[in-house]
Amino acid sequence: AQSVTQPDIHITVSEGASLELRCNYSYGATPYLFWYVQSPGQGLQLLLKYFSGDTLVQGIKGFEAEFKRSQSSFNLRKPSVHWSDAAEYFCAVGEGYNQGGKLIFGQGTELSVKP
């Protein structure tokens, strides 16, 4: 069965430090992979997606993620974290549209940023 694991429930980093949020997936075919961010009391905003092609994808707000098939991972990175990055981050694997287009979400990682 498809699944997504985000091993870190909560991460705290200092402002200006680098960030890496981990995501591992289990999926039978080539996955569609996503990272979303959620601020408290709000919906989800798409940071970036991987469908095919270059395994290093760039997103909004200075985020990037790298798809590593051999490790079944899609880790999110940012070289320098800003206080406004504090939020909940969700990794998701998606079925192709002709399979319903559903998303399977990880448990989420809460990011706190120290001044």
Chain residues that interact with another protein, rule: CB under 8 A: 32, 34, 36, 41-46, 49, 51, 90, 94, 96-98, 100-103, 105-108
For another protein, which is the closer residue by CB, 45 or 80? 45
Sort strands 73-78 and 19-21 into parallel, antiparallel or unpaired: antiparallel
Rounded Cα distance, 115 and 55, in Å: 32
Which residues are CB-neighbours of 30 under 8 A, at least 6 positions away? 52
Given the complex with another protein, which of 16 and 96 has the nearer CB atom? 96
> At closest approach, how far in Å is the CB of 60 from another protein?
12
Q: How far is the CB of 101 from another protein (least distance, A)?
A: 5
Closest CA to 87 of 26, 29, 39: 39
Q: What's the first-to-final CA gap in the chain, in angstroms?
A: 41
Residue 94 CB, shortest distance to another protein, in Å, is 7
Q: Rounded to the nearest whole angstrom, what is the least distance from the CB of residue 68 to another protein in the complex?
A: 20
